[in-house]
A = this chain, B = another copy of it.
């Protein structure tokens, strides 16, 4: 690491390029100037490592080139992927990411929104659990997974389609009695549609099913008790389970192992998200994969869009099913 006294200025670039300061300013501000001058300035700027000062640029254009990203956390692999894709996508367009983590606490979320509003960011991309969130309508705002009103664009995966896909897949793989398990916030959101899509298919195809939907506060242990109560003569009453996240599937697979129920031999499991272990190829379970890069790209697109007269209120992006060892795609061929 080398220390430098200071970053190069426009004056340094002018000296290095052998041109007038005004010429450098014209080049950096996109004003017309002869090609040979432009080349000289650009080469000198590159040699010196000069970058257009986006703070000064902001004072002129009234932009901060900063977008706030408000998430519950980044230790959940789904949020980590979302943060990474969004931040890289913003960086590619010359924008910085102001990261705020809220722990899903409604008051912390409101405080975050107030803080970033007062610090004049150019936009807010947010995944929140506060239905009463107050936002200053003047800053472009995109909500992920949470629909507020037709005035606030919401970007989400096709949760309904994903729920349908999970039910159809389990049925096509031979399941006769299905179960939907869900744990999450009691604030309604787009992700609720996973269960509704699942239910719709079961009803249409007249496949018997049950649904157990818990709030975060009820804890995972309730699922264990439920599963235990549905074992008769060592057999689980269900042969297909759709979990609303891979995280939940991870816990359910652990409980089933403890209870002596085999996955996928006795019961097939499909999760939702598409989380991979240590960024390897390994999924935790067969799952409905969310298009993370597209979710990020679409949110950034909308938050930075210049013309804000005709914004969509909800954009759903396509999901896909990927087998991950907890369903019987290769069954019984491989055993």
> Chain A residues in contact with chain B, CB under 8 A?
1-7, 49, 51, 53-55, 66, 69, 73-77, 80-81, 83-84, 87-88, 91, 96-101, 110-111, 114-115, 117-120, 131-138, 143, 148-149, 151-152, 246-247, 250-251, 277-280
Contacts and interface: CB of A to CB of B under 8 A. Distances in A.
Contacts of A135: 1-4
Given A131-B1, A278-B77, A55 B136 contact: no
Contacts of A5: 136-137
Nearest to A134: B2
A119 B98 contact: no
A206 to B, nearest CB: 35
A120 B53 CA distance: 10
A118 B80 contact: no
A76 B278 CA distance: 6
B96 A97 contact: no
Contacts of A77: 75, 77, 80, 278
Given A73-B84, A97-B98, A247-B278, A115 B54 contact: yes
A4 B137 contact: yes
Contacts of A7: 114, 117-118, 136
26 contacts: A1-B131, A1-B133, A1-B143, A1-B148, A2-B133, A2-B134, A3-B135, A3-B151, A4-B134, A4-B135, A4-B136, A4-B137, A7-B114, A7-B136, A51-B115, A54-B119, A55-B118, A55-B120, A74-B74, A75-B77, A75-B84, A87-B99, A88-B101, A97-B98, A97-B100, A250-B280
Contacts of A53: 118
Contact of A134 (B3, B55, B117): B3
A257 to B, nearest CB: 12
A98 B100 contact: no
A96 B246 CA distance: 31
A272 to B, nearest CB: 14
A250 B279 contact: no
A278 B80 CA distance: 11
| Max count, chain B CB within 10 A of own CB: residue among A3, A4, A111, A149 | A3
Contacts of A69: 99
B279 A76 contact: yes
A91 B73 CA distance: 13
A143 to B, nearest CB: 8
B101 A54 contact: no
A53 B114 CA distance: 10
Given A1-B149, A5-B137, A87-B99, 10 more contacts: A2-B135, A3-B137, A4-B135, A51-B118, A55-B119, A55-B120, A74-B87, A80-B80, A87-B101, A96-B98
